[in-house]
Amino acid sequence: MTSQNASVHPAIEYLAHQKPRPGQIDMIIEANESLSNGGFHLAAAPTGIGKTAAALAAALEVAKKSPMPKKIFFLTSRQSQHRIVVDTVRRLNQLRKENGKITLVDMIGQSGMCVQPFAKESSLVFSILCSQARKTRNCRPWITHAPSLTQRILDSPLHVDELVELTKIHRENDVITQTCPWKVARESVKHADIFVGDYNHLFDDGVREVSLEAMGVGLSDIIIIVDEAHNLANRIRLTMEKRLTRTIVRNAAMEVEEHLGALQEHYADGGPTANEDEIDLYMWLLEVMKACRKTFSELFHTMHSTLPTGKDEQKVEASDFVHAIHSACDLTEGILGQKTIIGSNEQITPLIPRKNRIEIIQQLLAKVEIEVDTDADNGAFEPDSHRFAEIIGCVNRFGGGTAMTLIFDTKGRDGRITTHLLDPGLVSKPVFENSSGAILMSGTLYPPTMYANLLGLPSANTTSRSYKSPFSGSRRPVLLAQDVTTKYTERGHDMNMKIRAQIEALVKGTPGNIAVFVPSYKMLNEIFADAHFSGIRKVTESRDWTKQDIDGIVDLLRDGKDSGQRILLCGVFGARLSEGVDYNGGILDAVACVGIPNPPPSVLNDSLKEYVAERFGKDLAWQYTSTQPAINSILQAMGRPIRSIGDRALILLLDKRHSDRVYSKCYPSDLMMSSTSGPETTTSFAKRFFAKVHTTTDE
């Protein structure tokens, strides 16, 4: 099989570009070699290199030449990236023409594709309502079949929103047949070359098990591409972050009682789905949950009373959490256990063996079903029995070692206990090892070896490389201001004024829109709340912004660019404006990065440093948990204006600490910085750059 690209280089048979970009050939060859050996390739590939097309080219070649069929799972945390993947495959199919089309299925979460009114509910409530509708066969789209729709989906790659709209107008025998978009998409995956979806399809254990079975795909048959892979470790940690409050324990007990009542009523009516053994188990669980209200109340009281002076958080030993559950079981056994008299002693035979208690409680809580009232004044609620089950599952799975920490804090009415997984590799390692290989890529995957360590990739068959940026120096210069810093000991009004002066200087020298990012919302307010910059409209990010607010930002910037009304967009590192928005079309001319977003001191960060030091050594602990994540957040922000090879932008770093060795070593080796000693120099530098370098049209 050949294509128009094959005459250039055999490694780009599946490349969706007429001509390879700088660095693409190397990335394709190296990723291909790794995948061919069932290995893993980490690519620190900057924007403009065409990493999406390169990763797909390498994975498709290996998948197509494999003696056993292989399917590509392209996983990304950003919905905007879904569209880029679909468009890339469309371009590839145009180039291949008669040489065989590549088929693709694009999916997002079930609620995001649902056509029912309850799709707007929270994720867990939606799951319950969807499950109830399917069980009772009240969801007509779910039970409606459209046999020819799968082939239509595979005929040409569709964006997920196009797929949803297609299901609304699809006809079977000249009759419109509305079927469930999510269901038909999932069933179509087994026939497709590429699946595009979220991380959770493989890195959330519950979702993976259900998804792969429904898709008819085994993990060993999958080549994984992880986009924005610098986010994967934190995403896994966030997935395993579960919270417990005294209110959750109380409500869980009430929900168990409601569920038990429904079972008993169903059994009395001769219903086939309820039996005496199940009822006995839930009667036992109800008593356990009543006792848990007492034992967890005592645990929360202890946490409050033992807080260090001046602190509002502390560690909770996993053994104390588990002890609260066992104590509740022991209290219950005293009520329900079978009593035996041996001599003059009374013994109680437990209803549930101690070694099985935790797992059985978790399973029973997870199966609790209650009526969900979506018409309530406060909206639908997530069953607390399920929340309790999730945190029990986390503690039972990871609480036996040092890889998970539990932290109590005083937030809320009575405080809360939160689980934090310190080692995401415990989740990701078995997924990668049982797959058919993987490409992990990001513009800020620096250093690749750090992410290989954090995600548990085996060193024996893992390769990595940092690819050079095509924008180095000429199209994306980096200017470091040596007169400002956000170091804690130097903060204050005078420093804020110096930072404002540098931003005003950038505004004077820049012809178009500018984005500014700072470490926190507090600092955003301190620097920009009463600031005015001449000749430009200031738009400041808010915690309260909705998805619609975020979606409108690109249009606002584009309208400003077209009309000559400049926008100064002010946001926060790690928030949605600095990572989740695609500023395409050259709508940003410059980015200013204020300070260094090191994480604030906390019990969690201390625990993370201790764990990383234990796993990888003290020398790497600070870099892995503080300096490198901070610099990578800045690199993400720096990459916002560069979305194609024809873009150009000026980057202004507003913190002299970037030249310190502890931070400078965290940057890619090919990134060069110029210095500015004051606002006048900044303005002059900007004017010279924009006069000399212009946006060009990408081929």
What is the per-residue pLDDT across 569-616, written as a single tens digit (0 to 9) for each?
999 998 888 876 878 888 999 999 999 999 999 999 999 999 999 999
What are 288's two structure tokens? 């356990």
DSSP type of residue 479: E
Question: If you average pLDDT over every residue of the chain, what do you get?
Answer: 89
Q: Is position 292 within any domain?
A: yes
Q: Is the pLDDT of residue 222 over 80?
A: yes
CATH (domain of 34): 3.40.50.300
Does residue 132 sit in helix, strand or coil? helix
Same domain, 574 and 488: yes
Q: Is position 212 within any domain?
A: yes
Q: Is position 625 within any domain?
A: yes
Q: Is the pLDDT of residue 472 over 60?
A: no
Burial class (CB in 10 A: 0-12, 13-18, 19+), 73: buried
In the numeric block, the tokens 């006792």 are attached to 291
Give Cβ neighbours of residue 330 (< 8 Å, ≥ 6 apart).
none
Same domain, 490 and 598: yes
Same domain, 71 and 208: yes
Contacts of 695-698 spanning 24+ positions with Cβ under 8 A: 695/586, 695/646, 695/647, 695/648, 696/646, 696/648, 697/646, 698/644, 698/645, 698/646
Q: Is position 674 within any domain?
A: yes
What would the pLDDT profile of 407-431 be if each residue is shown by its tens digit? 999 998 899 999 999 999 999 999 9
Q: What is the pLDDT of residue 387?
A: 94
> 676 phi and psi, to 5 degrees?
-130, 135
DSSP type of residue 344: T
Same domain, 252 and 199: no
Per-residue pLDDT band for 495 (boundaries 50, 70, 90) equals: very high
The C-alpha atoms of residue 540 and residue 384 are separated, in whole angstroms, by: 36
Q: Is position 108 within any domain?
A: no
Which domain-ending residue is among 392, 414, 436? 414
Give Cβ neighbours of residue 522 (< 8 Å, ≥ 6 apart).
none
Give Cβ neighbours of residue 471 (< 8 Å, ≥ 6 apart).
46, 48, 642, 647, 648
Q: What is the pLDDT of residue 261?
A: 94
Question: What's the chain's Rg over C-alpha atoms?
Answer: 28
Highest-confidence segment of 10-14, 134-138, 472-476, 490-494: 490-494
Q: What is the pLDDT of residue 9?
A: 59
- What is the mean predicted confidence (pLDDT) over 127-149? 87
Q: How many independent structural domains does the chain possess?
A: 3
Same domain, 309 and 375: yes
Q: What is the pLDDT of residue 254?
A: 96
What are 581's two structure tokens? 């928005």
- What is the mean predicted confidence (pLDDT) over 657-679? 92
Same domain, 636 and 667: yes
Same domain, 392 and 262: yes
What would the pLDDT profile of 87-123 be if each residue is shown by its tens digit? 999 999 999 877 789 999 999 988 899 998 888 887 7
Q: What is the pLDDT of residue 380?
A: 47
Q: Is position 126 within any domain?
A: no
Which position has the higher pLDDT, 469 or 200? 200
Q: Is the pLDDT of residue 508 over 60?
A: yes
Per-residue pLDDT band for 345 (boundaries 50, 70, 90) equals: low
Contact (Cβ atoms closer than 8 angstroms) between residue 50 and residue 227: no
The C-alpha atoms of residue 320 and residue 365 are separated, in whole angstroms, by: 20
Same domain, 507 and 587: yes
Q: Is position 124 within any domain?
A: no
Q: What is the pLDDT of residue 349?
A: 57
Same domain, 376 and 459: no
Q: What is the pLDDT of residue 340?
A: 45
Q: What is the pLDDT of residue 271?
A: 65
Write out the residue range of the structural domain in which residue 686 sits.
Answer: 478-692
Same domain, 340 and 201: no
The C-alpha atoms of residue 378 and residue 328 are separated, in whole angstroms, by: 32
Give strand pairing partners of 538. 568
Same domain, 482 and 452: no
Same domain, 440 and 345: no
Per-residue pLDDT band for 376 (boundaries 50, 70, 90) equals: very low
The pTM for the full model equals 0.89
Q: Which helix (H) or strand (E) holds 675?
A: strand 673-676
DSSP states of 78-124: -HHHHHHHHHHHHHHHHHHGGG-PPPEEE---HHHH--SGGGGS-HH
The neighbour count for residue 157, using CB atoms within 10 Å, is 26
What are 150's two structure tokens? 């799968």
Using alpha carbons, select from 212, 143, 151, 152 the residue that is nearest to residue 183.
Answer: 143
DSSP states of 268-337: HTT-TT--HHHHHHHHHHHHHHHHHHHHHHHHHHHHHHTPPTT-SEEEE-HHHHHHHHHHHHHHHHHHHS
> 307 phi and psi, to 5 degrees?
-60, 135
Does residue 644 sit in helix, strand or coil? coil
Q: Is position 82 within any domain?
A: yes
